[in-house]
Amino acid sequence: MLVSAIVLLVAIAAVRLSTRTGLPSLLIYLGLGLALGQDGLGIEFDNAELTQVLGYAALVVILAEGGLSTKWRDIRPVMPAAAVLATVGVGISVAVTAAGAHYLVGLDWQLALIMGAVVSSTDAAAVFSVLRKMPLPRRLAGTVEAESGFNDPPVVILVIAFSVSGPMDSWYLLIGNIALQLAIGVAVGVLVGKLGEYGMRHVALSSSGLYPIAVMALCVLAYAGGSLAQGSGFLATYICGIVLGNARLPHRPATRGFAEGVAWIAQIGLFVLLGLLATPSELLEDFGAALVIGVVLTLVARPVSVLLCSLPFRRPLREQVLMSWAGLRGAVPIILATIPMSEPGSDSDRIFNIVFVLVVVFTLIQGPTLPWVTRKLRLAGGEGAQDLEIESAPLERLRGHLIAVSIPDGSRMQGVEVAELRLPKGAAVTLVVRGDSSFVPSPSTVLRHGDELLVVATDAVRDAAERRLMAVGRGGKLAGWLGTAGSSALRRG
């Protein structure tokens, strides 16, 4: 427990260092694991199967948090492009990388295909942690984020298929299996998410702390249900997270905060565990091979897959360049590299070592340089007004709701008078918190950035009140007259 507490505290401090230097924090976590391992403090750990199981569990939590914090409004227009990148793009990347591993490094075709499949998946944790700190256009950021959430299932299927000792299935059976698992994963994710949304909106729990736990439990349930139905549990988790994250659930900001904290613990534990599994003295032997395969993957396979998959969508060349460079690798390839290790052998160990070195070296190169590349391509800068933060808590006995509203910088609610909100009958602003003071507003009170409002609404008008608040946040006092009614694509935070 002492070691675990120290590791967590050091990892938390590393986040601050990562923010200042631009160095991805996952590398620091891997370094902690290496320092604690057999070539460091001497902790011996070589259980690849346990690492795979715990890694899958951590990925479920990370994908759930990613889905909960994904804005459906941002990714809905880019869903076709993200789906093509996550399927066809993965296939192209696997083929090109495998060819490079075979002809340039000398791996036999089975190992080369395993290597290509293992490293072809962009990592959700790395992409979410890096891209969400950058002011990218919504369409571009949404495409890369959605791709990272969708491309894990096809890669897992390919790695397992290529790792079998006997003959592999025909290519058309493999494609059919991938399509079936993806379809089942989507169906289970939507079903669990919708049922969970309905239940949580109609049941008032005894404590607000139970809502975040229930949301995370639903995401885990989606993974288990998808897997038991012979579908993609990872995709079911991500889809369920998106459904719940964009639903009008009680205590939504608290749920997001809880999910983010649990995801941080999962990332820290996962990367430290992967560092423990590696042996630094053996990594140097495959350093050259890792560099060669990494160059092929980063400078050839990824750009080719992005270029070909972007042809139907006519994306500008500079966006394609950034999408190619933003294909970050992280824990997912290292975890997938443990699948062949279930049958011990020098070749499977070599795959793990190559992947480990590749992830460390190229994350160290791509992560810190991504903001610079974005500026050079002139793609920095967000779009549109900022959405309000709205948290709703049910009052079961009073048949009403307390709606907490935070007005962020960029919201067009700045300068709007309380009367100009034109809330539906049955809803009213009862309190304004401004700085260190709070007061009961009058109809002529002018709202400002940074204000927090407390709105009381009856059951019958709660949804209409939230829609109206969101519309004013996007369109200002003329919302409704300008077509910004907010009734479609409602999104908070």
Query: Both 370 and 435 in a single domain?
Result: no
**7-28: pLDDT as tens digits:** 888 877 777 666 665 566 777 7
389-395 and 437-439 strand pairing: unpaired
Rg (CA), the chain: 24
Partner residues linked to 452 by β-bridges? 406, 433
How far from 340 is each of 110, 355, 412, CA to CA, in Å? 11, 12, 54
**Residues 282 and 25 sit within 8 Å (Cβ to Cβ):** no
Q: What is the largest CA-CA distance in the chain?
A: 76
Partner residues linked to 434 by β-bridges? 437
Residue reference for tokens 């490079």: 100
**Residues 450 and 434 sit within 8 Å (Cβ to Cβ):** yes
Ranges of residues in the chain whose predicted pLDDT is under 50: 346, 384-385, 483-493
Q: 382 in a domain, yes or no?
A: no
Query: Both 295 and 405 in a single domain?
Result: no
Q: 493 in a domain, yes or no?
A: no
Which residue, 310, 345, 376, sits at the end of a domain?
A: 376
Query: Both 430 and 366 in a single domain?
Result: no
**156-181: pLDDT as tens digits:** 888 888 877 666 667 778 788 888 88
How many Å apart are CA 103 and CA 368, to the nearest integer?
Answer: 31
| DSSP 8-state assignment for residue 228 | H
Supply φ then ψ for residue 467, to 5 degrees. Answer: -60, -40
Q: 488 in a domain, yes or no?
A: no
Query: Both 364 and 432 in a single domain?
Result: no
How many Å apart are CA 374 and CA 366, to the nearest integer?
Answer: 12
437-439 and 452-458 strand pairing: unpaired
How many alpha carbons fall within 13 Å on the CB side of residue 68?
28
Name the amino acid, one letter, at 159.
V
Q: 474 in a domain, yes or no?
A: yes
Closest CA to 107 of 292, 277, 360, 302: 292
Q: In the prediction, which pLDDT does 170 show?
A: 72
CATH number of the domain within which 455 lies: 3.30.70.1450
The two counts, helices (H) then strands (E), for the chain are 21, 5
Which residue, 345, 376, 407, sits at the end of a domain?
A: 376
**Residues 347 and 109 sit within 8 Å (Cβ to Cβ):** no
How many Å apart are CA 459 and CA 489, to the nearest integer?
Answer: 21
| DSSP 8-state assignment for residue 116 | H
Q: Which domain holds residue 412?
A: 389-478
Which residue, 331, 347, 376, sits at the end of a domain?
A: 376
Q: In the prediction, which pLDDT does 344 show?
A: 54
Quote the mean pLDDT of the chain: 82
How many Å apart are CA 408 and CA 493, to the nearest integer?
Answer: 10
Q: In the prediction, which pLDDT does 486 show?
A: 44
How many Å apart are CA 89 and CA 85, to the nearest integer?
Answer: 4
Q: In the prediction, which pLDDT does 102 show?
A: 92
Closest CA to 306 of 136, 119, 93: 93
**Residues 240 and 64 sit within 8 Å (Cβ to Cβ):** yes
**56-82: pLDDT as tens digits:** 898 899 888 888 888 888 788 888 998
Q: 405 in a domain, yes or no?
A: yes
pTM of the model: 0.73
* Residue 385, both tokens: 């007004």
**Residues 111 and 11 sit within 8 Å (Cβ to Cβ):** no
Provide the number of structural domains found in the chain.
2
Query: Both 337 and 397 in a single domain?
Result: no
